[in-house]
Amino acid sequence: MAVNKEPDLEHFLSIPWCAKLLNDPVFTITPTISRIRKGTTEDAFIAETLQTPDTIKAWTSFYKTPRSSNTLIEELHALLTLGYRINGHPNIAHGGFLSVIMDEVMGSLLYINVMQRVMSAQKTFTAYLNVTYKKPVPTPGTVLVSVWFREVTGRKCLIEGAVKDADGNVLTRAEGLFVGTQVKL
């Protein structure tokens, strides 16, 4: 496990099923850039509004380490510990919140590839996001969000993803189309 500075790592290492994932040597832990407060209003919703003990208490992202530095990182995973202030119903996360999380983790997959210089992008936008709610997402609790590329064509990236519980049950699925990126390879 290659580790970059990630402030919430200790929290997830204290949860057995999360520690098992994070201690797998095939993964690289990466900072969740949208959780970092910036001097502008960029990412304020994730970095400020949703970064409290009662909204998203902790968030750590990780991906399978590519064999070479010029290889597309095809999947990104994020562990999130959720609090009650994101509820729509008692002890159940609001569906709109889940859409935000899926959009954010999908966008982070693109961002990591831009930072790895595998993709280039001046600005990337969500063209659409389709979310299917399979089962309630309980709160408080910890979930795994996984996203992956389904298709990359020119400036368009079709990304799929899922929110899963500790047992691997799919709670939410999503598909998003993002425009503005360009694969360099």
**Quick one: how far is CA 180 from the chain centroid?**
19
**Quick one: how far is CA 37 from the chain centroid?**
17
Task: Using alpha carbons, list the distances in angstroms from residue 182 to 8, 129, 149.
Answer: 31, 19, 13
Q: State pLDDT tens for residues 16-26.
A: 999 999 999 99
CATH number of the domain that 20 lies in? 3.10.129.10
Residue 71: per-residue pLDDT: 87
Q: How far apart are CA 173 and CA 131, in angstroms?
A: 6
Q: State pLDDT tens for residues 171-182.
A: 999 999 999 866
For the cut 90, the answer to whether the pLDDT of residue 7 exceeds it is no
For the cut 80, the answer to whether the pLDDT of residue 142 exceeds it is yes
Domain that holds residue 33: 2-183
What's the domain count of the chain? 1
For the cut 90, the answer to whether the pLDDT of residue 126 exceeds it is yes
Two structure tokens written together for 123: 């600005």
Q: How far apart are CA 151 and CA 65, in angstroms?
A: 20
Contact 30, 62 (CB under 8 A): yes
**Smallest Cα–Cα separation from 62: which of 75, 48, 44?**
75
For the cut 60, the answer to whether the pLDDT of residue 5 exceeds it is no
Q: State pLDDT tens for residues 153-168.
A: 888 999 999 999 999 9
Q: How far apart are CA 110 and CA 141, in angstroms?
A: 27
